[in-house]
Structure 1
Amino acid sequence: MAVYVALFVLIAGGAGVLTATAESPEIGFENPDFEVSENDTVEVDGESYTVAGISEGEDGMMGTLEQEETVERSETWENESTIELDDREWRVEITGDEPSEFTLVEVLDREAILEEDDSADNETIERDDGEYVAVTEDNETTLVPVDEYFPAPEEQSYATGDSLEYDDRTVTVDEITADQAVVVWEGTQTNTVEIEEETPVTIGETEFVATFPDDSTMALSSDIEGYEAQVAEIDQFDQYTDGLTRVVVLAFLSVLLLLAAAFVPTRY
């Protein structure tokens, strides 16, 4: 009995030592495609990306790449709608079923014009035959038709392909229909790529896996086969470790059973 107990203790001790001293392999690349820090540039498939940040997330380290891309933006101006241009309001007017141009008609600020004229009332007057402005000069009040009192609104016409300054940018008339006019311009948009530690990610048309040698450095490798081989090696290591742990547990259980059996009283 003592020999068997010693044998199982020896087996458990050996397995325990192997389990305690074994070092788990880690994902790493000797020659990554890129090893970058924040604000560095990464060139992939002819496209440029900037490392916007490296930080620690809930599931490990993370990196963020950003790319500024030029895109075409557009805006639609509906017929009879108003837009703001040169700090003034303009009404979009389109006539005909197949128009070749549209017109921007200035929307006069009648209230401001009346307030600036000390001889005119601040409000227009409605009569059966039309709308008037009451103008008082030399103690005599005259009703002036609004069409005569207010200046003629400014008009600007544009055809397809024409350009104009709008909202601090140069826009081009792209399309005109009976219902609307469409203007286009070139703008930029920011594309973001979130990269998680040891998780394959596609940048451009290339797949990479990222590791983080330290809190401020990110390594990117396109050696996916090498990454998968390292993952398989780690899985195999975990299986061996689990097996050794089971050996330790079973060996100690066997020792306990043998000791318990040794103290069982005999019937003879």
Structure 2
Amino acid sequence: MQRRAAAIYVAFFLVVGAASFSLIATASAPQLSFENPEHELGQGDSFTLNGQEYTVSGISAEMEGGDGGGHGGGGQAHLVRSGTIEFTNESARYTVEWANGSTVTYEGTDWAVTTDNASSSVTLVESIDRAAILQNDTDVENETTTVDGTEYVVERAGDNGSRNLIPVDEYFPEPDTREYEVGDEVDNIENNTATVDSVTPEAATLTYTAPRTNEISVADKAQVTVGSTQYFAYFPDNSTMVLSTNFETYEQYQDETAMQTRMTNGLWGITILSGVSAVFLIGLAYLPSRY
């Protein structure tokens, strides 16, 4: 091949490759933006939906992936934004279960639980800490004794060396007993008044209503349900949460992004092919001629 002709072709391919590369370098990525979104919020901001107040309790931006650690392990690091919305249900339903045969702590005292399905009742019998009572009484031994099948508390020997045996039923206080039926109210359950909702052979179930704080996790460029409304969530920066019902805007953004990706890949193909062609032509131009 004549070197002059080769130089012309090489110059052509270099110009084409440079032009395609310049298009790649100067092309701007599609920008996602919403006109008049329903909510544009910062941390601590609130909005009301169907009578319920919602508050943005947190917005975070963390780097993930890359060699520097993060949650994603290796690969290129990228910024991940997310947020949290809180709301309080003022009349949430709570349940407390007292299992049959168990010991529960109520009003600072331990109680043995017995349920009676036939009468739909639950009985609490105070648990007497016999060991603690004996240890606190210096006039008796720390352990009881059993004589002829009867359990006694042993009074310490006096000056005459004699010891008295006191029947445990006479020494220890009679345990308090409380009985509740289905529909009865029980005070001081988690600082609330509960109602005995049901009684089975396995357990008694108590219910009460009280405020409950709930959290909604919000991911970037994802759908989130707040109340009965579905929003598209977007974080344009590290301190702003956008909620919009205009899902068509994001779909259009995805289409534009996909189109740009295809165009960029095509331009890279032209750039690489032009460079390879130029190198190939230079090689051919310097091949020795047989004539």
* TM-score > 0.5, shorter chain as reference: yes
Q: Is the 8 A contact 1:99 1:178 kept in 2?
A: no
Gapped runs of 5+ residues in structure 2? 65-77
Pairwise CA RMSD? 2.9
Q: 1:62 aligns with which of 76, 82, 93?
A: 82
1:84–1:197 CA distance, 2 compared to 1 (3 A): closer
Gapped runs of 5+ residues in structure 1? none
Q: Is the 8 A contact 1:174 1:184 kept in 2?
A: yes
Give the alignment of 1:120-199 within 5 angstroms. Answer: 120-135=140-155, 141-164=163-186, 165-187=188-210, 189-199=212-222
Aligned to 2:71: none
Residue 113 of structure 2 aligns with an amino acid whose one-letter code is V
Residue 243 of structure 1 aligns with an amino acid whose one-letter code is G
Q: Aligned equivalents of 1:93 and 1:20: distance in 2?
A: 78
TM-superposed deviation, 1:188? 5.3
Q: Is the 8 A contact 2:115 2:121 kept in 1?
A: yes
Q: Deviations over 1:72-120 (max 9, x none)?
A: 232322333322222222222345x511323222222333444454544
Between 191-200 and 52-61, the greater mean CA deviation after superposition = 191-200
Q: Aligned equivalents of 2:124 and 2:152: distance in 1?
A: 25
Q: What's the TM-score once normalised by structure 1's chain length? A: 0.83
In the alignment, structure 1 residue 253 sits paired with structure 2 residue 281: no
Q: Is the 8 A contact 1:27 1:231 kept in 2?
A: no
Aligned residues: 267
Aligned to 1:228: 251
Q: Aligned equivalents of 2:142 and 2:277: distance in 1?
A: 105
Aligned to 1:84: 105
1:169–1:257 CA distance, 2 compared to 1 (3 A): same
Aligned to 1:35: 40
1:118–1:219 CA distance, 2 compared to 1 (3 A): same
1:154–1:239 CA distance, 2 compared to 1 (3 A): same
Q: What's the TM-score once normalised by structure 2's chain length? A: 0.77
1:252–1:93 CA distance, 2 compared to 1 (3 A): closer
Q: Aligned equivalents of 1:129 and 1:247: distance in 2?
A: 101
In the alignment, structure 1 residue 73 sits paired with structure 2 residue 127: no
Residue 156 of structure 1 aligns with an amino acid whose one-letter code is R
1:147–1:240 CA distance, 2 compared to 1 (3 A): same
TM-superposed deviation, 1:230? 1.0
1:263–1:236 CA distance, 2 compared to 1 (3 A): same
Secondary structure of the residue that 1:16 maps to in structure 2?
helix
Report the identity percentage.
Answer: 37
